[in-house]
Structure 1
């Protein structure tokens, strides 16, 4: 069964790694077609293969569905952030209503809303919180009464280091770069398996990678079990000075504006090991909207971000179940009783 074969290859991955290491002389080790052909593996008859493939595949299907849902919810929150705090759509609309001048940078958006005045679809209660004029700044035209200031004005950097190996049997929720790249699912690991120092993940933190910022990695950790949460020192844990503004801080780091500014501060000459200095990011000048608008944004997006986090957390649980079942089912340690009947029920 092709799906079973996929999980069999995942089960055999340690063998591939071992072969590659044994053959390694310089650079990266590798395996050949002959290495694969010479591997031996036991496997059950086809009906049981299909039953195993169905169980593991159903878990992966649900993980993927959750990923898509979380991504959609987050995309909505990002679109609102861009509209309010990058394109300044509500300010453009208010300026049009008041007959005030609009900077050349926003003339296309002004034409769009002049022709479709109700397109923005904001409630009047929120719309009236935005200014109706622009002012000049070092970052170009910005809404009136908004400020330019360092990131540290709204968020602080937290780099409290811990050695998980000093508590070898404790289970840690580990936010690592590989875990981010593998679907943004933190791994639960014993302290004895974590050899290097890590940062504690404080409550309300937003994690932004300082490694190779041309490939943005921004992570919003779950808040449960925070005393057991750690992250790679390749992440920069930032805490909003007002916990209600966590969503805004998260979306700021995800924005193209922030990522462009972060990339401009890169040090290091090689593409694979470029970094930014966290203190440089903390001092980075950013646009700071009025306090009430920052709170309104976070309140408005709490449901979206909260549900997105729930989906990610559920996926992490399902992935742990899958990773526990996979070696037991593939090796035959755990067998499916009456798998023909099982397959009949799920057909």
Structure 2
């Protein structure tokens, strides 16, 4: 009976049919058991230990990696979807913040999309592998590539997307920062304080540079809430991930600490940023001929060869045919 079933499977799916069915069954079992394993059930003994630990504390609250919310449906899977190491969690959170995702649950959703797209890719790869095997013989190497390839692509897709968003956002902030400094210098020289100039710049830059406007708006709100100015500025430089803004924050903090004029510091730094933007433009312009060389050769040399050598080749072929 087992041999008959094996022959029947091999007749429909090929020689690797039993192996594919076992693999598909394993994936289905994993998908069925994962929700059960990921459910976070609270142990009464752990609850007692937590209460005893809280009683032994001297009033100092421990720092948590994340804040649980009642509306978050992925909270019970947090141990599976989020890094438990503080350094790893902070690195992922910083990368997402620099990409523009500032939600409290951004890390959780990021890992959820990685897991979901990876499993979805494995399922699609398995279905495609079964279809190709039923059409004809498929080597073991191609079978593994068809099964695992979509899963790897689906798992890496969120990371690629976040990296691209981070690079695009950093470029937009870098391009808009010199104009921001010029506008802030005008506001300070007109008699406004640094807080008022930051608020005015955040309102004026919304149309042209929304990323930079959002960062200055966050700085303005945090200053209004009473957060120390140096801490607010350092947080802004960390969120932006731009070296120019980090240097600008250092200049502002030093000007505040030593009592020097903020207008003079802004004037010098704004002039440097304008020169730096011109140098970046010149660098991009100097790279352009090198990048166009290959395309120019591919698009111009073959037509020139056809125009110059084509008639000669045609005459030679006619003479040889006539001879």
Please, what TM-score do these two structures have when normalized by structure 1? Answer: 0.24
Higher CA-based Rg? 2
Higher relative contact order (CA 8 A, sep 6+): 1
